[in-house]
Amino acid sequence: MRGVPWRGRGARAVKQCQPAFAFRPGPRFNDLPMLHPVTPGICYLVGAGPGDLGLVTLRAKECIEMADVVAYDYLVNKQVLAWMKPDAELLYVGKQAANHALPQEEINQLLIRKVLEGKVVTRLKGGDPYVFGRGGEEAQELYAAGCPFEVVPGISSTIAGPAYAGIPVTHRDFNTQLTIFTGHEDPTKEVSSLDFSKIAKADGVKVMLMGVGRMGELTGKLIDNGAAPETPVALIRWATTGRQQTLTGTLATIADLVEKHGFKAPAVCVIGGNVALRPELNWFENRPLFGKRIVVTRTRNQAGALNQALKALGADTYEIPTIRIEPPHDVMAFGELVQDCYKYEWIIFTSPNGVEAFFEMYYKLYKDARDMGPAKMVAIGPGTAKRISEYRLSVDFQPEKSVAESLVEEFTVHAGTIDNQTILWVRGESARDVVAQKLHEKGAIVDEAIAYRTVPETVDLTGGQERFRTEGADVLTFASGSAVDHFMALGLPIPPETKIASIGPVTSAALKRHGLKAHITAQQHDIPGLVKAIAAYFAKR
């Protein structure tokens, strides 16, 4: 039995080359004033959209990915911050009513200073930077300071919010005019630029931003200036997200309804007859999981598929990554086993992470998939099989049950006999050794390739932990036993009303070890199966 043959190999010696000389600047060089580099950086004024991550533009994502500094506002969906470079500087400069992280003038100077330091700065704003986002002021300041800048438009909540509430802001049968105005002007202005006599008498639909706190005053001025009191009104809070709430009334009643329901900002106000189309066109709020707060505990890189599937059903998802995937401690040992993969008759993959790590290493060593030779592929779980298929390779065997205990028995039946057959088992560092042990008992020659390790995720980049502490959740999802263990290590109290969803029996067993139970268990042990189980659970209720 070969076991793990590469563990005893030492690291190859690397000759250290010393430079022939080293330049040390003299006193005269050090005394020179360093105002800014010869080539300054650039500032991207980026619209991050109205809240739904799917409404962020591709250009916005590019700007976040290349940024040395990211300065973001209160209304920006924090999930976009996961696209940042690991070493990027993150600055919160958001503004809420009576609570500004930084005054606007200080924000302007901050952007200028970072650009003059040669940094690529991405300034993230909710919606569009030029639609009541003060982007024009920041662009002027950058121009005056000689700083290059680029404006990246975003989808404004003035159109996206009504659309997600089932209200078209224009409709050929009803209106050909759209008026957008703000209910919150610069408090230092001596004279208001809002002419309520013109706004009240304007045809078509009117959309107002930042006016919930003054709703009684603002609707009163519109009525006093000729607007019909019975004009339909809708307020959309946290528009385009799973937290969206819509309140409807008329100009005469909406202020009292705001008070009665405790309706607060941030919200978009739509005024006009098109609001009456909402019962027909309300596509978003009628989804089966709408408003259900669901926590995704997968790694940041893996959370996307589960997030996307749940959001498609209307869920309000947010992430609490508990683990992250890192290379194994002995990368050389892993690489040498991958290099010799053509010598094996079978390669067993037990997780998508193992598949990804294996082929990332493989294509550093080989240029052609055919160099893998005659090795046949075994996948535990449909998610693992799917990941293999993405490399344009077929899975030769997949057990019906996605658990290690079932693999060996089913595999033995499939292969006929595994006595003296060579098998490479690609696994994580913390994976249970059940597979290797049982294969050895059947006479197989097994090498274990440690492809990756899971470590605790210590950074709460998107604020998921804080939201769970303050708001809780309807469902807490787990897709692995290690995610359970690391979540419990965070010490976050689980509210009694929160239901726990498990991807399968191994994960459920991990929950049981911590004194927890799975209220929802996927029958098909993959992400689509987990989503299906959650949807079915709420459908019964």
Point out the residues that are catalytic: 73, 95, 210
Check: CB of residue 265 under 8 Å from CB of residue 157. no
Strand order in the sheet with 475-478: 316-319, 293-296, 475-478, 499-502, 520-521
Select from 416, 298, 406, 312 the least CA-distant residue to 352.
298
Contact 478, 502 (CB under 8 A): yes
Q: What are the structure tokens assigned to 472, written together? A: 């809780």
Q: Which residues contact 510 (CB under 8 A, 6 or more apart)?
A: 478, 480, 481, 482, 484, 485
Helix, coil or strand: residue 483: helix
Give the strand pairing for 445-456 and 323-326: antiparallel
Residue reference for tokens 């020179």: 32
Contacts of 454 (CB under 8 A, 6+ apart): 323, 324, 325, 326, 428, 429, 430, 482, 486
Token duo for residue 461 = 């980049």
Which is it for the CA torsion 483, 487, 490, 491, positive or negative? negative
Q: How does DSSP classify residue 152? A: E
- Picking from 164, 190, 458, the residue whose alpha carbon sits closest to that of residue 300 is 458
Burial class (CB in 10 A: 0-12, 13-18, 19+), 475: buried
List helix spans (H) across 264-349: 278-281, 303-312, 331-339
Closest CA to 452 of 361, 378, 382, 367: 361
Tell me the C-alpha to C-alpha distance, in Å, between residue 410 and each of 132, 407, 414, 415, 420: 63, 5, 6, 9, 18
